[in-house]
Structure 1
Amino acid sequence: MCISLPAKVVQIEGMIAFVDYGNGIVEPVINNEDDIKEGDYVVVSYGMIVSKISEKEYLEMIKYEKEMRELLSSPPQ
């Protein structure tokens, strides 16, 4: 199973992009895409940018991630 997370690019230094996963913590990842720039929204998998996405897609993915966390953290009924 592959885990992919949405993120916003906050800085680029060569092949390293620094991204925020929506929690205010900035982490470095490998940038292997040619057209990525600061402010872009991307999908990160295994520490590497795998695709560029729109802001709308980013917000939808963040929403679904929050919903899943809430479901998984709630006690069974």
Structure 2
Amino acid sequence: MCISLPAKVVQINGIVAFVDYGNGLVEPVINNVDDVKEGDYVVVSYGMIVSKISKEEYIEMLNYEKEMRSLLENSLSSASS
């Protein structure tokens, strides 16, 4: 299974990009896409940028991630009751 997460590029230093996954924490990843620049929205998989996305796609992916997290938390809390 492949886990891909949306992120915003906040800095680029050679082949290393520093991204924010929407939680305010900045982490380094490998920039594997030629035309990525600061401020771009990207998809990160296994520590590498795999594609650029639009701001709308970024927001949609973040909302989907939050919804899945909420469903999982509700499912786990129901199972432990």
- Do they fold alike, i.e. is TM over 0.5? yes
> Which has the larger helix fraction?
2
1:21 and 1:67 mapped to 2: Cα distance? 16
The Cα of 1:32 is off from its aligned counterpart by 1.4
5+ residue gaps, structure 1, are none
Q: Structure 2: which 5+ residue stretches go unaligned?
A: none
Q: Distance in 2 between matches of 1:48 and 1:18?
A: 11
Percent identity, aligned pairs only, is 78
1:3: how far off?
Answer: 0.2
RMSD: 0.9
- Runs of 4+ in structure 1 deviating by more than 2 angstroms, as ranges, are none
Following superposition of structure 1 onto structure 2, how do residues 1-77 of structure 1 map, counting pairs within 5 Å?
1-74=1-74, 75-76=77-78
- The two structures have a TM-score, normalised by structure 2, of 0.92
Tell me how far 1:76 sits from its aligned partner: 2.7
CA distance in 2, matches of 1:38, 1:62: 19
